[in-house]
Amino acid sequence: MELQLTRPDDWHLHLRDGQLLQSVVHHSAKHFGRAIVMPNLKPPVTTTATAVAYRESILKALPAGSAFNPLMTLYLTDNTSPEEIKLARQSGVVYGIKLYPAGATTNSQDGVTDIFGRCLPVLEEMIEHNMPLLVHGEVTDPVVDTFDREKVFIETVLGPLVERLPKLKVVMEHITTSDAVRFVESCREGFVAATVTPQHLLLNRNALFQGGLRPHNYCLPVLKRETHRQAIVSAVTSGSKRFFLGTDSAPHDRQKKECSCGCAGIYSAPVALSLYAKVFEEANALDKLEAFTSFNGPDFYGLPRNSSKIILRKNPWRVPDSYSFASGEIIPMFAGETLDWLPFNN
């Protein structure tokens, strides 16, 4: 059995830089046409000039002959200027502005502390230039329970923001709760959408603790209850145009995951398409897979769909235990397990 799909895009990807970039970019470039590349480097990508330079480093790291197109983003701070939004749009390579609430996830310490008090002129400029806001949707107040951070963010930040700026295009990234599903579905279509990761479709929070602590299943936003997972699967496999593929693939050295204070992030790039196919097959919705992987994202961003194709074939394969790079190794999602679907370039 095989499926022919329009080449997918990844609308939320971490490629890192340096040796790590050179070791992982080929996994995404092999089967994805484009990817929205996250800007949370050290230091973060806060200007158009640094985004252009980062893009050049990605292109240099690609395998020979690759047509992979990195779509760049800027890291929103309290000090981002409206003029920077104009420069970003004029560059032709920046496609979104990323909102990290300060302290929400990896390398987010330079993020926004007060979006209404510090960022409204920038957001208004983004509306003028049809530049989407890409949101890590969690509050960082230590009083709020970790498992409630997304829900509270919707109630206190994102809901009021969308109401105040209804023409702002917003992507709520890596949604994890039924609350997020309901919020996205309640908003005006074409203005608010969501990316969904393989881990939040396949795993619930029990996966963090099965037989012991499982650091390679730790990501932010953290995995949630089974009821939330089921709600996300139902939304994604319904055929709704509001949801699209965004792996949030986030490579970390094994030693930085397996330690006393491990990094958040799951490396899914090599297995993502196989895992999404698994989700849609189990939901008897393989006919909806192509829209999720290949149509809904470019349609929301106002970009053409890819013209090339890939093949997903029922061909069981074993996920490697790890991937080596110059100074360590990365453990992929579902390491050592057998998956049914294998992607091939057409």
Give the tokens for residue 334: 């579902």
**287 dihedral zone (left: phi>0; alpha: psi -120 to 50; beta):** alpha
User: Exposure pattern of 171-208 as b/e (b: 16+ CB <10 Å)?
Assistant: bbbbbbbbbbbebbeebeeebbbbbbbbbbbbbbbeeb
> Which of 9, 10, 110, 136 does the annotation list as catalytic?
136
Active site residue 216: no
Rounded Cα gap, residues 336 and 9, in angstroms:
26
Contact 317, 342 (CB under 8 A): yes
> Which of 110, 248, 252, 257 does the annotation list as catalytic?
248
Angle, alpha carbons 217-221-223 (nearest 5°): 45
> Which of 9, 10, 12, 169 does the annotation list as catalytic?
12
Active site residue 174: yes
**Which 3 state secondary structure label does DSSP give 7?**
coil
Give the tokens for residue 214: 């499982």
Active site residue 252: no
> Which of 27, 31, 98, 257 does the annotation list as catalytic?
98
Active site residue 12: yes
Active site residue 14: yes
> Which of 31, 151, 169, 174 does the annotation list as catalytic?
174
Active site residues: 12, 14, 98, 136, 174, 248
